[in-house]
Structure 1
Amino acid sequence: MRELILLRHAHAEPPAPGTEDFDRPLSREGQAEAEAAGVWLKKNGYLPDRVVFSPARRTRETVEQVLSVIGVVEQRAEARVYEATPGTLMQIVDDHRELGRILLVGHNPGLEQMAALLNSGQSGDFRGMPAGGIAVLRLPADALLEPGIAELAAFWWP
């Protein structure tokens, strides 16, 4: 078995005039959420082999806060994660299937739709993934991702 940890970026500042969505920073609340996510991951032993994340500022800052708690982990910014569909996210995760545990940090609706698709086989069968929320999915060791292949092992939100 291997594990896929999905982490939605924590709360970001609202869009400011002249600021691109991509460049929105975490709010103070978001910084605390991201730190709490790191505490939960560490406390529950979900330390990843690699972190793959969207290069958007709020996602990078979420990763920084999490790593400040769990310690240094190999990191890869992946442009395809920003505004990705569940299918694109599954391809990204498949690119790292040699790992026992990967942490994917990104955005909704793609993350929550992928979690639902992998677990239940239905991308519309989701209940929402709040900012800073974590879903841990257990997957067969060498299999490519497909609908219904995963078991939801844990779900947490700040």
Structure 2
Amino acid sequence: MRELILLRHAHAEPATTGQPDLDRPLSPEGLAEAEAAGKWLKDQGLTPDVVLCSPARRARETLEAVLAAIGYVEQRLEEGIYEATAGKLMEVLDRHRDTDRLMVVGHNPGFEKLVALMHTGQSTDYRGMPPASVAVLNLPADKLIEPGVASLTQFWWP
């Protein structure tokens, strides 16, 4: 088995006039949420082997707060995560299918639809992923990344 940990970025500040969406920082509430997510991951023993992170500032700041709790791990910015559909996210995951425990830090609605698609096989069967929430999916080591192949083993939000 291999594990996929999906971490939605925490609450961000609204964009100011002329500010690109990519540059929105975490709000004070979001920073506390991200710290809580890091503590939960540490308490569960869910330290990833590799982290792929959206280039959005709010995702990077969420990851920084999580790493402060769990310690340093290999991390890469992945442009394809920002504004990705569930299908695009599956392509990103497929490129990293040899990683035993992969964490991806990104956004909705792609994440909530990805969880539903990988777990039930239906992207319309999503239930939502609040800011700073964590979904943990188990996937058979010998299977490709495809609909219905994973089991949702844990779901947490602050």
Aligned length: 158
- Aligned twin of 1:44: 44
Q: Secondary structure at the match of 1:61?
A: helix
Cα separation, 1, equivalents of 2:95 and 2:142: 12
Cα separation, 2, equivalents of 1:142 and 1:85: 24
Cα separation, 2, equivalents of 1:23 and 1:44: 31
Cα separation, 2, equivalents of 1:93 and 1:43: 25
Percentage of matched positions with identical amino acids: 63
Cα separation, 2, equivalents of 1:131 and 1:15: 17
- Conserved 8 A contact 1:11-1:131: yes
Cα separation, 2, equivalents of 1:53 and 1:157: 19
- Letter of the 1:44 partner, please give it: Q
TM-score after normalising by structure 1: 0.98
Q: Secondary structure at the match of 1:42?
A: helix
Could you list the runs of 5+ residues in structure 1 that have no partner in the other structure?
none
Could you list the runs of 5+ residues in structure 2 that have no partner in the other structure?
none
- Conserved 8 A contact 1:98-1:142: no
- Letter of the 1:98 partner, please give it: D
- Aligned twin of 1:54: 54
- Conserved 8 A contact 1:119-1:148: yes
- Aligned twin of 2:83: 83
Cα separation, 1, equivalents of 2:96 and 2:54: 15
CA RMSD of aligned residues (A): 0.6
TM-score after normalising by structure 2: 0.98
